[in-house]
Structure 1
Amino acid sequence: MITLHGFPASNYYNIVKHALLYKDVPFEEHLIFTGNDQLLAVSPVGKVPAITTEDGVTLSESSVICDFLEEAYPDTPLYPESATKRAMVRQIMKIAELYFELPSRRLIPYVFSGVDAPDAIKKEVRQVIKRGIPALNRLCQFSPWIAGETFTMADIYMHYVNVVVINCASTQLDWDILAEIPGMKQWNETMSQSDIAQKIEADRRANMPEFKTHIKALVQAAQSK
């Protein structure tokens, strides 16, 4: 059985978890936070998520794990058959990561501490997101799924990118970012209503108090050095 290492407060962890549940692949969860030396045993740079495969191999990086799951468990595909269409799905995922998730992630410390980010950081984050909006407007189809008629990994990826966008960038920037992409908010709501997404969201909420305690301990340890 696959072991999924990480914690439910992580959106990257939840991308992999959603793919596992969608593909109906048996797995168990191993709760472990970043900053734990034990994580290096399964993740070369100590990041989550990571998995241990059925044959004992460890893999990290969410996109690598998702590609592995697609190849190892192809019965319920999350990518189109056409190489071109697969590349188009990955293009959406990459743009969502680079121009939505990563800039929004810069605001996480301020959200957790309950203070406003400096204006300079807000400006930088806004500029990057503004580059992503027209790109996603051109690429996302919402007919009814992001890449067309078929549910793909792009739907999973974008949904958990949006968790960070909504909770960090939209709140810190006072900006309804999803509304800038026609169809995105309705699609995101549809995604959130699935049984899998609701289970993952419940697990995320349940894990948040423990995760915040962990983050505070890391900050205090760093300040004491």
Structure 2
Amino acid sequence: MIALHGFAASNYYNLVKHVLLYKELPFQEKLVYGGSEALLAISPAGKVPVITTLEGLHISESSVICDYLEDTYTSKPLYPEQPAQRAHVRQIMKIAELYFELPSRRLLPYAFSGTPVPESVAVEVRQVLNRGITALSRLCQFSPWVAGKQFSMADIYLYHVNTIVSSMGVSQLNWDVLAEVAGMKQWNESMSQSAIAQSVEADRRANMPEFIRQLKAKS
């Protein structure tokens, strides 16, 4: 059985978990936090998530894990058949990571510590997010899914990226970032109603207090 290592408060962990659940693959969850010795033993950079395959191979980095799962378990495919369409899906995923998720993640330390975001940081984050808004507005279709008629990896990836983008935008910048992309809020709400999304979200909320304690213990 596949083992999924990490913790449910992590959106990267949750997007891999979402893929596993969508493909109906049996897996076990192994609780481990970032930077721990247990994680460093299986993850070169000490990051979550990590999966251990049936053959005992450890694979890290969420996008790499997702591609491995797609290539290995071909039922319920999450990428289109045509190369150009697959590239379109991956382009959305990459832009969501670089220009939505990563700048929003810069705000996490201020959210957890309760300290104000420095104006210089807020300006930089807004600039990058605006770049992402422009790009995703051009690429996303929401008709009804992110890349068009077919549910794809881009839907799962962007949905879990938006967990960070939405919460940090509202709480730290007083900015409803998702509302800036036409159709995104409605699509995001629709995604949140699925049984898989609700199950993953319940686990995320349940794990959050322990995750916060872990952060405070390190500080």
Residue in 1 that maps onto 2:153? 153
* Secondary structure of the structure 2 residue equivalent to 1:165: helix
Rounded Cα–Cα distance in structure 2 between residues aligned with 1:134 and 1:118: 24
Question: TM-score, with normalisation over the residues of structure 1?
Answer: 0.96
* Residue matched to 2:3: 3
Q: Following TM superposition, by how much is the alpha carbon of 1:116 offset from its aligned partner in structure 2, in angstroms?
A: 1.7
Other-structure match for 2:100 = 100
1:102 partner letter? L
Report the equivalent of 2:209.
209
Return 5+ residue gaps in structure 1 as ranges: 220-225
1:53-94: per-residue Cα shift (whole Å, max 9, x none)? 011110000000000000110011000001110010000000
Give the TM-score taking structure 2 as reference length: 0.99
What is the SS of the residue equivalent to 1:5? strand
The runs of at least 4 aligned residues of structure 1 exceeding 4 Å deviation read: none
Q: CA deviation at 1:152?
A: 0.3
The residue that corresponds to 1:132 in the other structure is 132
> C-alpha displacement at 1:169, in angstroms?
2.3
> Deviation of residue 115 (structure 1)?
2.2
Separation in 1, partners of 2:116, 2:205: 23
CA deviation profile, 1:156-193 (whole Å, cap 9, x unmatched): 00001100011112321111111110100000000000
Separation in structure 2 between the aligned mates of residue 49 and residue 96 of structure 1, nearest angstrom:
18
Gaps (5+ residues) in structure 2?
none
Q: How far is the alpha carbon of 1:52 from its aligned partner?
A: 0.2
- Displacement, 1:113? 1.4
- How far apart are residue 101 of structure 1 and its match? 0.2
Match for 1:7: what amino acid? F
Q: Distance in 2 between matches of 1:174 and 1:143?
A: 29
Output aligned runs, 1:1-225, within 5 Å: 1-219=1-219
Letter in 1 for 2:110: Y
The whole-number CA distance in structure 1 between the counterparts of 2:136 and 2:166 is 16
Greater displacement, 31-40 / 185-194: 31-40
What's the RMSD between the two structures over aligned residues?
A: 0.6
